[in-house]
Chain A
Amino acid sequence: MTHEEARARLSALLDGALPDREAVQVEAHLEGCSSCREELAQLRTTVTLLQEVEPMKAPEGFSAEVRRRIERLAQATQHSPWTRLRAALSWRSWSWRTVTAAAAVVMVGVFAVNLLREAGVPGGATRVRMPELALDVSKVGEGARTLAQAVPPSAGPGEPVSMRRVIRTGQMAIEVERFDAAASRLFAIAEGAGGFVADSSFSDEDGVPRGTFVLRVPAARFSEVVAQVEKLGTVKRRQISGQDVTEEFIDLEARVRNLARQEARLLALMDRATKIPDLLAIEGEVARVRGEIERLTGRLRFLANKVDLATVQAEVSQKPKKSEGALWDFKQTLERVRTAFLNTVRQMLGAAESLVALAAALLPVALLGALAWWLLRRGFRRADRIP
């Protein structure tokens, strides 16, 4: 160790703040260097002098002034909405007991709702109904129309919907409390709508009566009838379809018009024909054209009938009777509890999954926010960093 290196370490040596190895080397240098010994002595005296400096008292009213400044600061921040929001959101203000209690209340609530649903208390029926089954009458009509419009349009887009010719068909399976009542209601519905029951079949297997009814009702009242039928009981299945036959209609009508003109020309020709073979040939042609016209108008009538009268096919079955007589069906209760429990668990898992997904979705935003927050805070905090 050189003289300069040793000299630079004298101060630390004085405090015993040198690593052992260096301390030994400096001591060794001191043995042979009187100027360093002198320097060390003077440093020691200097430090002693410094330590003798009289401490001062903080000025009068110092702590009162600090307190006044803090109180003024607290007042300024207390009223800012930002501070209040932060206080409300602060984890410190939420004791663990509060959080746990809130979570417990939510879980008990979810479980209770599930249990009630299982027990068939109001709300039970709506659970079985699929969401789209709860659609109101106008919506059903719209659905059919939408379907109809999905079929490639033949006319221009400007053509009014009322000009469209759509065959509407509805199929549904319904579970009712009493089969007999439902069947007579179906007839009443069909007649009330100005239609009829075109077909009905009935069976009674295992004491569970069921039957199929085909209702034909004016197309304009289709939606209304569907809604009425669905009110009979619980809808198990349902299919509404609309077949757009506008194009076929226009095509058929055009062809019938052409054939009619052709027939008229042939008849005129026949009047002027003089030779028997010609007459026979024309007559044969007239017959063919007429037959074609008949066939096409038949098809047109069939289509018109289908379009004018919508078809509603209802498969009606009676709800299986619950076991009667026993005071309390323990197995059923157990089953309900089990289902309710599983539903709660499923919903909680679903909620957890949603939360994870939400967190993942918010992560980039949160990172950006945190970065901005950090940058903002850094400026303020510079001076009072925590050791």
Chain B
Amino acid sequence: MTFDERDLISRSRSGEIEAFDLLVRLHQDRIYNLAYRITGNREDASDAAQDAFVRAYQALPRYREDAAFSTWLHRIATNAALDLVRRRPASTHGELHPEVPAGDNLEAVVDRREITRRVHAALGHLTVEYRTAVVLRDLQGLAYGEIARILQVPLGTVRSRLARGREAMRAQLTDLVSAEG
């Protein structure tokens, strides 16, 4: 199945919900991942990602095609997720930083699942700003320019937030880093 995204967008604009449904299915995993990594729990992630798509549907008439649709979605979703995080500052990143079981052996730690678990946990220790920068760059794979547009900050700010965020991640993951390195 191949879809012409532009075609889907213009059909969604004219109110064809089927077309928008397809757009949601195409992007839902990436957007859900983004929301999960910023909010730190499944419930908030699901809410934020849904919010993002609903907002995107409403804002679709204002979407100009000078930015990639996925970047545009990322911006809306980032804002939606940050809204949730700021509204519920008390919500802990419970799922994000489970205690590392004592006496873990290295083979298990290097397992990809374990890396995922540890990274998610480490993200929970970062401030929202640093976490968002790291998530957008290293987990979602966006370019500096795109991140600057999504966060509405200058490139220099993206660079410095990312540097600090990565440094904090390195500190959180020291054991893994030395094991890998």
Q: Which residues of A contact B (CB under 8 A)?
A: 8-12, 15, 17-18, 41-43, 45-59, 62-63, 65-67, 69-71, 73-74, 381-387
Number of A-B contacts (CB under 8 A): 144
Q: Are B54 and A383 in touch, CB under 8 angstroms?
A: no
Q: Identify whether the interface residues of A are mostly helix, strand, loop, or mixed.
A: helix
B128 at interface by CB-CB < 8 Å:
no
Instruction: Give the size of the chain B interface in residues (CB under 8 angstroms).
Output: 64
Q: Which of B28, B42, B112, B152 contacts A52 (CB 8 A)?
A: B112
Q: A45-B177, A46-B173 are in contact. Are A17 and B57 (CB under 8 A)?
A: no
Contacts of B67 in A (CB 8 A): 386-387
Closest B residue to A383 by beta carbon equals B79
Q: Are B75 and A66 in touch, CB under 8 angstroms?
A: no
Contacts of A387 in B (CB 8 A): 67, 71-72, 75, 149-150
B160 at interface by CB-CB < 8 Å:
yes
Q: Which of A18, A54, A56, A384 contacts B56 (CB 8 A)?
A: A384
Q: A47-B138, A49-B115 are in contact. Are A383 and B55 (CB under 8 A)?
A: yes
Q: Are B120 and A53 in touch, CB under 8 angstroms?
A: yes
Q: How distant is A50 from chain B, measured CB to nearest CB, in Å?
A: 4
Q: Are A67 and B170 in touch, CB under 8 angstroms?
A: no
B49 at interface by CB-CB < 8 Å:
yes
Q: Which residues of B contact A (CB under 8 A)?
A: 15, 17, 20-21, 24-25, 28-33, 36, 42, 46, 49-50, 53-59, 62-64, 67, 71-72, 75-76, 79-80, 83, 112-113, 115-116, 119-120, 134, 137-139, 141, 144, 149-150, 152, 155, 159-160, 162-163, 166-167, 169-170, 173, 176-177, 180-181
A39 CA / B67 CA spacing, docked (Å): 35
Contacts of B71 in A (CB 8 A): 387
Closest B residue to A11 by beta carbon equals B163
Q: Are B115 and A384 in touch, CB under 8 angstroms?
A: no
Q: Are B162 and A63 in touch, CB under 8 angstroms?
A: no
Q: A15-B144, A385-B79 are in contact. Are A70 and B181 (CB under 8 A)?
A: no
Q: How distant is A257 from chain B, measured CB to nearest CB, in Å?
A: 90
Q: Are A42 and B59 in touch, CB under 8 angstroms?
A: no
Contacts of B49 in A (CB 8 A): 58, 62
Q: How distant is A348 from chain B, measured CB to nearest CB, in Å?
A: 34
Q: Are B166 and A384 in touch, CB under 8 angstroms?
A: no
Extra pairs beyond A384-B56, A386-B62 (7, CB < 8 Å): A9-B159, A55-B30, A63-B25, A74-B15, A385-B152, A387-B71, A387-B149
Q: Are A63 and B46 in touch, CB under 8 angstroms?
A: no
